[in-house]
Amino acid sequence: MNDQQAIDKILRESRSIAVVGFSTNPQKAGYYVPAYLKRQGYTIHAVNPNAGEGLDGDPAYGALADVPVPVDLVLLFQRSENVPPFVEQAIAIGAKAVWMQLGISNHEAARQAEAAGLDVVQNACMLVEHKNWK
């Protein structure tokens, strides 16, 4: 179960968000959730080797390690079974938190992130949580 304190902390303290699995399709959550977050003042870094570009013509990156600035939060739009390497990369780049979108959870990867000192949210929509938090 997600800790409301962790959700509040992430929403309050994260400014720079790397979106792994960013989509260029406006109908997909991997696009409209980060677009919403950008409108709320967060800096969004699209991570998808096939995207070409991110929101509003911003660059898209092939991997988390390619994002040239510090990242507070890694927001995952990936299948649950694909989460572990992205959590390892989030730890390696010094992210402060990992958020697995609605329908995505991996308890082993979550434990690994928490053991490394990261805040973790699983199976929750950041857009919905942000609207409730505001």
Percent of the chain's residues with pLDDT above 90: 93
Sequence-distant (6+) residues with CB within 8 A of 43 are 15, 16, 17
**Mean per-residue pLDDT for 73-92?**
97
Q: Which domains does the chain have, with CATH numbers?
A: 4-133 (3.40.50.720)
Say what the pLDDT of residue 52 is: 87
Say what the pLDDT of residue 95 is: 98
**Which residues share a beta bridge with 73?**
17, 97
Q: What is the CA radius of gyration of the chain?
A: 13
pTM metric for this prediction: 0.96
Closest CA to 113 of 127, 126, 96: 96
Per residue in 91-120, pLDDT tens?
999 999 999 999 999 999 999 999 999 999
What phi, psi does 105 have (nearest 5°)? -155, 145
